[in-house]
Amino acid sequence: MQVIIFDNAQDVAESAAEWVAELVNKKPNPVLGLATGSTPISLYSALVNKYKADQISFKQTTTFNLDEYLGIEETNKQSYRHFMNENLFDHVDIDKDKTFLPTCNQGENPRKQGLAYEDKIADAGGIDLQILGIGANGHIGFNEPTSSLASRTRIKTLSQQTLNDNSRLFAADEFQPTLAMTMGIATILDARYVLLMATGKNKAKAVKDMVSGALSAACPASALQQHENAVILLDKEAASELEDQEYYVWANMQNQKVNKEFGLYHNY
């Protein structure tokens, strides 16, 4: 894992935007895995700024989102499709026909839809860079604790902690879905690079478990220990429970030199 610690959340977002921009600008027909939640909002706004400054074009890009609530209409303001339109797709030159979410409408079989999503990702050539957040309970996507480390896109029941954490986004009288479709942990591990962003004190324990805890379904993000190219972007608060902070700062200084000369990716 490459653990990189920044002074603040804005620097995390700017760095994540650099990773996305280098991939999208260098690789023909890039495939991005995208995430929703509060954390990536500042990444998307940094990308929109880059687009407006003519520093990035998404014309050739295909995207796959991690998750979507089950049986929710695309037009529903709580849908992740709506979130993506509002925060990114409506503001850049992406072809929306090449943007996918694991939607499962009323009456559709979630198991079949999950498999179809896996096929669609494979048909696009696999995900080059998967953006991730992390739940306070260690989830990635909606892979809640005890999710199989070999899981694929499927229907998932949200944990009480996730429902509580996300209740801030719903009005008191608004329906909050308890079921979602999510890429599995094995789906995420198939991405060529994963870029996980975590900010704030409430993520510190999950970050510690992910980086240096046991590889365990109790912390789904710990599965990233098995990924060849996992990059973890943290602000100081999210990094605050890590024991080896000095090492990460030192290692990052060395990596920066290599990045400057050869770029961020070893294969693009």
> Smallest gap, in angstroms, from Cβ of residue 162 to ligand PGA?
7
Compare residues 15 and 39 and give the one whose CB is closer to ligand PGA: 39
DSSP letters along 159-186, please?
Answer: PHHHHHHHGGGS-TTS----EEEE--HH
> Smallest gap, in angstroms, from Cβ of residue 40 to ligand PGA?
7
> Smallest gap, in angstroms, from Cβ of residue 38 to ligand PGA?
4
Q: What is the rounded CA–CA span in Å between residue 43 and residue 134?
A: 15
For 122-150, b/e burial (b = at least 16 CB within 10 A) is: eebeebbbbbbbbbbbbbbbbbbbebebe
Nearest to ligand PGA by Cβ — which residue? Answer: 37
Residues labelled catalytic: 67, 137, 139, 144
Q: What is the rounded CA–CA span in Å between residue 44 and residue 35?
A: 10
Name the site residues for ligand PGA (rule: CB under 6 A).
Answer: 37-39, 133-135
* Residue 65: strand pairing partners: 34
Compare residues 148 and 255 and give the one whose CB is closer to ligand PGA: 148
> Smallest gap, in angstroms, from Cβ of residue 196 to ligand PGA?
9
Compare residues 115 and 155 and give the one whose CB is closer to ligand PGA: 155
Three-class secondary structure of residue 2 per DSSP: strand
Report the amino acid identity of residue 155. Answer: I
Compare residues 166 and 259 and give the one whose CB is closer to ligand PGA: 166
Pairing of strands 62-65, 2-6: unpaired
Compare residues 37 and 145 and give the one whose CB is closer to ligand PGA: 37
The answer to whether residues 181 and 103 touch, using CB atoms and an 8 Å cutoff, is yes
The answer to whether residues 145 and 159 touch, using CB atoms and an 8 Å cutoff, is yes
Walk across the sheet containing 179-182 and list its strands.
67-69, 179-182, 154-157
> Smallest gap, in angstroms, from Cβ of residue 43 to ligand PGA?
10
- The tokens describing 266, both together, are 């070893």
Longest Cα–Cα distance of the chain, Å, equals 54
Pairing of strands 99-100, 62-65: parallel
Compare residues 238 and 264 and give the one whose CB is closer to ligand PGA: 238
> Smallest gap, in angstroms, from Cβ of residue 257 to ligand PGA?
31
Residue whose C-alpha is closest to residue 121's, from 104, 105, 98:
98
Percent helix, strand, coil in the chain, to 5, is 40, 15, 45
